[in-house]
């Protein structure tokens, strides 16, 4: 057996923590996606008076593994006229923000890969990379549906990034810190949803649903008009990477909402990590609930809603919070 302690001594504690953390993150990403594909089908099934997957394993629990194996086994088709470097790059880039965001999320008092004092900025800065990958995918695919999907995604992202930022800022004001752990610790006196920031929570959640391209805001991949949107030309494991990233993005959006508004890992009796996952998966469930009960919005409605309602309200909330804090 190789000596773990010796290795840690050579590369240093911080590096070892980072490497172990990244391995843990990769495991969480895959397990989370496996669980969520199953949950989503079950939720959608029951909401539409169907059953969902039930043949493979008890309650269809092994269905995600079967799907994963199928995707792994599929041939990686590359259409003839794609822009090759961009086409190959897109599924890789889509994973960068996912991995980076996990580094700063506090799962528990001590379970965090690295507490960076500008933690929330790290997540917000890198989350813009996912729209970049959609853009590259749409462009590189050399397909009209992909390109329209990518254009829509860019417009949507510009519109919803602003309320997203503006809804998180008042919380940072109140906590007087940009570090995610500090923000959780401040909430020992009460969650921010109930302490003045309920509207910020609503705005954040709507904007996050739009940022993760979920129904009712899933215009970049609207099936009825764009086939599959930006990932029309992707098959096999490349498609699976987009899929994994989508589910992980939902998880991250919910985890940030949990951290900022719902007290993160704080809670009685049960250990912190259990509380964290309960709250996060509840929000994930709510996002799925949206998907199977709301119709898709029209594109002008989508943009008008952000520019004319969400942004002014978020600004008003920000100014009010700042003013009251300084009184």
- Looking at 150, 203, 219, 252, which residue binds other proteins (CB under 8 A)? 150
Per CB under 8 A, the list member of 133, 157, 254, 306 interacting with other proteins is: 157
CB of residue 86 vs other proteins: minimum separation in angstroms? Answer: 7
Which of 45, 62, 126, 237 is in the footprint of other proteins by CB under 8 A?
A: 126
Stretch that binds other proteins, among 69-77, 153-161, 193-201, 263-271 (CB under 8 A): 153-161
Instruction: State which of positions 72-101 bind other proteins (CB under 8 A).
Output: 86
Which two tokens mark 170?
């008042």
State which of residues 34, 36, 52, 161 lies at the interface with other proteins (CB under 8 A). Answer: 161
Structure token pair of residue 6: 């010796």
| Alpha-carbon separation of residue 94 from 100, 178, 287 (angstroms) | 11, 25, 21
Query: Binding other proteins by CB under 8 A: which of 8, 47, 124, 227?
Result: 124
Least distance in angstroms from the C-beta of 131 to other proteins: 6
The number of beta carbons lying within 10 Å of the beta carbon of residue 60 is 18
Residue 45, classified by CB atoms within 10 Å of its CB into exposed (0-12), middle (13-18) or buried (19+), is middle
Instruction: Note whether 115 binds other proteins by CB under 8 A.
Output: no
By CB under 8 A, residue 48 contacts other proteins: no
Stretch that binds other proteins, among 39-47, 121-129, 191-199, 282-290 (CB under 8 A): 121-129
Judged by CB under 8 A, the stretch of 127-135, 203-211, 212-220, 236-244 that binds other proteins is 127-135
Mask for 162-181, x = binds other proteins (CB under 8 A): ----------------x---
CB of 155 to other proteins, least distance (A): 6
Its sign, for the CA torsion 43, 46, 52, 54, is: positive
Size of interface with other proteins, in residues (CB under 8 A): 26
Which residues lie near other proteins (CB under 8 A)? 86, 116-118, 121-122, 124-129, 131-132, 135-136, 139, 147, 150-151, 154-155, 157-158, 161, 178
């Amino acid at each position: 057996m190789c000596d773990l302690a010796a290795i840690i001594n050579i590369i240093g504690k911080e590096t070892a923590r980072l490497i172990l953390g990244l391995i843990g993150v990769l495991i969480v990403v895959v397990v989370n996606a496996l669980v969520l594909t199953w949950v989503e089908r079950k939720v959608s099934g029951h909401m539409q008076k169907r059953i969902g997957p039930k043949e493979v394993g008890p309650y269809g629990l092994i269905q995600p593994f079967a799907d994963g194996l199928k995707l792994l086994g599929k041939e990686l088709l590359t259409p003839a006229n794609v822009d090759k470097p961009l086409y190959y790059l897109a599924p890789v880039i889509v994973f960068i923000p996912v991995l980076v965001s996990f580094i700063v999320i506090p799962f528990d008092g001590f379970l965090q890969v690295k507490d960076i004092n500008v933690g929330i900025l790290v997540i917000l800065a890198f989350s813009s990379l996912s729209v970049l990958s959609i853009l590259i995918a749409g462009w590189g695919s050399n397909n009209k549906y992909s390109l329209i999907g990518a254009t829509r995604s860019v417009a949507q992202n510009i519109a919803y990034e602003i309320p997203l930022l503006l809804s998180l800022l008042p919380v940072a004001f109140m906590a007087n810190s940009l570090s995610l752990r500090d923000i959780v610790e401040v909430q020992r006196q009460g969650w921010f949803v109930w302490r003045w920031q309920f509207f910020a929570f609503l705005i954040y959640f709507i904007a996050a649903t739009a940022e993760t391209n979920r129904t009712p805001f899933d215009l970049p991949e609207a099936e009825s008009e764009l086939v599959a949107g930006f990932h029309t030309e992707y098959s096999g494991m490349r498609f699976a990477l987009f899929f994994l990233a989508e589910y992980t993005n939902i998880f991250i959006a919910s985890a940030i909402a949990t951290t900022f508004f719902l007290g993160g890992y704080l809670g009685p009796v049960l250990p912190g990590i259990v509380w964290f996952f309960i709250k996060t998966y509840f929000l994930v469930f709510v996002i799925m609930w949206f998907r199977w009960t709301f119709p898709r919005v029209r594109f002008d409605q989508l943009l008008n809603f952000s520019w004319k309602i969400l942004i002014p309200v978020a600004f008003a909330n920000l100014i009010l919070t700042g003013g009251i804090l300084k009184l």
